[in-house]
């Protein structure tokens, strides 16, 4: 699947649609999910144009990969859900049709602030 420049997260990255920003650096943008499924539900997205984790794994530079992983950790710390600052969380990314992905720009969901429950429901 080729990258759709008009997906909702591309518009958020361009500032065309507002978001409740949590964190931003050269590699990632993080904001609260518009429809939170848990007490804390954040999204972390790379700034580069990647459809999903498979696309990212094949095309992103080492710097982008490190930037995304570090970004997830920084956001978790900022939200006080990391192992350092809180009680842990779940990081999850949906990939394509069977994964249930709705927005075709790679994003990690961070769920926390309460027990998250079963891995798959
Ligand atoms: P997916 O199903 O693709 O893994 O998750 C997409 C997520 O994006 C959903 O949890 C949905 O609530 C969230 N979302 C969709 N549109 C918007 C939006 O305009 N703003 C924000 N902050 N989140 C959105």
Site to substitute for ligand 1 among 38, 43, 108, most atoms within 8 A of C-beta: 43
User: In angstroms, rounded to a whole number, what is the distance separating the alpha carbons of residues 46 and 69?
Assistant: 10
In a domain, 94, yes or no: yes
Catalytic residue among 32, 41, 105, 107: 107
In a domain, 72, yes or no: yes
Reduced to 3 states (helix: H, G, I; strand: E, B; else coil), residue 90 is: strand
Confidence of residue 1 (pLDDT cuts 50, 70, 90): confident
- Domain harbouring 29, CATH code: 3.30.428.10
Q: What is the distance in A from the centroid of ligand 1 to the CA of 34?
A: 6
> CB of 97 closer than 6 A to ligand 1?
no
Give pTM, 2 decimals: 0.98
Per-residue pLDDT, 60: 98
Report the chain's mean pLDDT, rounded to a whole number: 97
Reduced to 3 states (helix: H, G, I; strand: E, B; else coil), residue 43 is: strand
In a domain, 2, yes or no: no
In a domain, 121, yes or no: no
Provide the 10 A C-beta neighbour count for residue 35. Answer: 6
Overall domain count for the chain: 1
Mean pLDDT on 29-43? 98
Q: Whose CA is nearest to atom 17 of ligand 1?
A: 34
In a domain, 44, yes or no: yes
Mean pLDDT on 58-77? 98
Mean pLDDT on 15-37? 98
Range of the domain at 21: 8-112
Given a cut of 80, whether residue 66 has pLDDT beyond it is: yes
Q: Is 49 exposed, middle or buried (0-12, 13-18, 19+ CB in 10 A)?
A: middle
In a domain, 12, yes or no: yes
Confidence of residue 51 (pLDDT cuts 50, 70, 90): very high
Q: What residue has token string 């249930």?
A: 100
Catalytic residue status for 107:
yes
Given a cut of 80, whether residue 121 has pLDDT beyond it is: no
Per-residue pLDDT, 18: 98
Site to substitute for ligand 1 among 11, 23, 32, 35, most atoms within 8 A of C-beta: 35
């Amino acid at each position: 699947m080729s990258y759709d420049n008009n997906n909702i997260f591309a518009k958020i990255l361009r500032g065309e649609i507002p978001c409740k920003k949590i964190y931003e650096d050269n590699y990632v943008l993080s904001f609260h999910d518009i429809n939170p499924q848990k007490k804390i539900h954040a999204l972390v997205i790379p700034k580069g144009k990647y459809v999903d984790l498979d696309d990212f794994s094949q095309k992103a530079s080492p710097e982008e990969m490190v930037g995304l992983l570090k970004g997830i950790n920084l956001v978790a710390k900022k939200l006080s859900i990391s192992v350092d600052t809180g009680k842990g969380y779940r990081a999850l990314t949906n990939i394509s049709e069977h994964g249930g992905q709705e927005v075709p720009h790679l994003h990690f969901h961070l769920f926390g602030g309460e027990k998250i429950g079963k891995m798959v429901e």
